[in-house]
Amino acid sequence: MRKSTLFLPLFSLMMLSGEDWAEAQQKTANYDESKIVPYELPKLLVTREGTEINSAEDWTNVRRPEVLALFQEHVFGRTPGNWGKVSFETKEVKKDALGGKATRKLIHISLPEHPNWAGMDVMIYQPNNVSGPVPCFVGPSFGGNHAVSTEPDVPLSTRWMRPSKEKGIVDNRATEASRGNESSRWPLEMILGQGFAVATYYYGDVEPDHADGWKEGLRAALSKDGANTEWKNGDWGAIGAWSWGLSRIADYLETDPDIDAQKLAVIGHSRLGKTSLWTGAQDPRFSVVISNNSGEGGAAIMRRNFGETTAIITKSFPHWFTKTYSSYANNEAACPIDKHMLIALQAPRPVYIASAVEDQWADPKGEFLSGLNAEPVYALFGKKGYGVKEQPAIDHPLGDSIAYHIRTGKHDVTSYDWEQYLRFAKRHFGK
């Protein structure tokens, strides 16, 4: 009888989904700075052969390709290049959206040579009170286009979604109750009012976010073995696929005369903040990169083992990363990268890192430290970073080409965050 009593909780834990298991770990994770074991970060400005990097040219031509390859091999995997032609189909142009304040476009992006992938639906809002091409924020949503907008005529997504009765997701499908449930994270009128466009897509269009989601997503469609693919070390994960989707939006925006494709800012929150950083690392067309509460696997220093850890994230969400990443669970010191190197891959472009004080799971201090330790690369380009060595007070944003804030509140995207991002983008875009 005693054995059965002990077995039941263990069995219940085994039955938890990755999402639920990760949430359960939050109660026992380390949130004590004094318990962080001393660590040494991998050197940014020393090549594999031991040569020191002293110029922007040598960073760009020698060290940066090495660092990018390390992230491909050990964290996110390599993005394949075999997708062929990309098709853009304009589904809608509504010139009186948001009460006449905006033009809304719905663009379907597909791969004619890979019909097993159903494609992705991109929603664009651009301001009507601005003449000429406008800069654009580009980012994925968790809930679909209909969740970003409150407009009743935005089509409901028909794709698989993570279950959430609170958000109106029933049997893994969106319902009318889910309309607008992400609108607070995308304050469209605020963004449009500052002269920016917004381009977004549902990340599940590219790959549903569960362990077997790849079988009905882009990764299977591009693999010669389809849903029978056996992923190996160095093969791409879901974050790589979601990032691919953002780059295809950039492809489209380069063809849209209403958008200034030289002024694209990529943005993402949480797992999609990790996606934003990986997109910026791979695609230089995004001239501003924004990470909102990206945490472990994103901006946070993995060697700190504070809040979410490599062991937790790779057990909860192994499909996000290349297989190699899980080998660093409880073995972070063996990993040849840390996340200051991911921030450095954005250089010399402006990058904004944002934390929330109640989001200790994402390790706000670790996020801050990544930006701080990326400063030597930015200095090679004559760019400035934070201008301070210590994490700032709550709600006191700081920085130049590398910027940071930790705000009041929880793991989320708020109007306060957007106020900082808009100010940051306007400064660097020269608006």
pLDDT value of residue 18: 76
Residue 19 identity: E
Active-site annotation, residues: 270, 411
Q: Is the pLDDT of residue 2 over 70?
A: no
The confidence score (pLDDT) of residue 5 equals 38
Residue 121 confidence class, pLDDT cut points 50, 70, 90:
very high
Q: By the 8 A CB rule, do 424 and 349 touch?
A: no
- 8 Å CB contact between 142 and 182: yes
The verdict on pTM exceeding 0.85 is yes
pLDDT for res 404: 99
Which residue, 179, 142, 160, 155, is CA-closest to 106? 155
What pLDDT sits at residue 27?
85
pLDDT at 148 over 50: yes
Span 83-101, mean pLDDT?
A: 98
Domain-wise residue ranges, the chain: 57-82+125-143+189-429
* Tens digit of each residue's pLDDT (9 = 90 or more) over 231-277: 999 999 999 999 999 999 999 999 999 999 999 999 999 999 999 99
> Could you read off the pLDDT of 370-397 as tens digits, one per residue?
999 999 999 999 999 999 999 999 999 9
Q: Is 179's pLDDT higher than 50?
A: yes
Query: Residue 377: which of 16, 59, 39 has the closest Cα?
Result: 59
The answer to whether 277 and 242 have CB atoms below 8 angstroms apart is no
8 Å CB contact between 421 and 276: no
Looking at domain 57-82+125-143+189-429, does it have CATH number 3.40.50.1820?
Answer: yes
Separation CA 128–CA 336 (nearest Å): 48
The Cα–Cα gap between 65 and 60 comes to 7
304-357 per-position pLDDT tens digit: 999 999 999 999 999 999 999 999 999 999 999 999 999 999 999 999 999 999
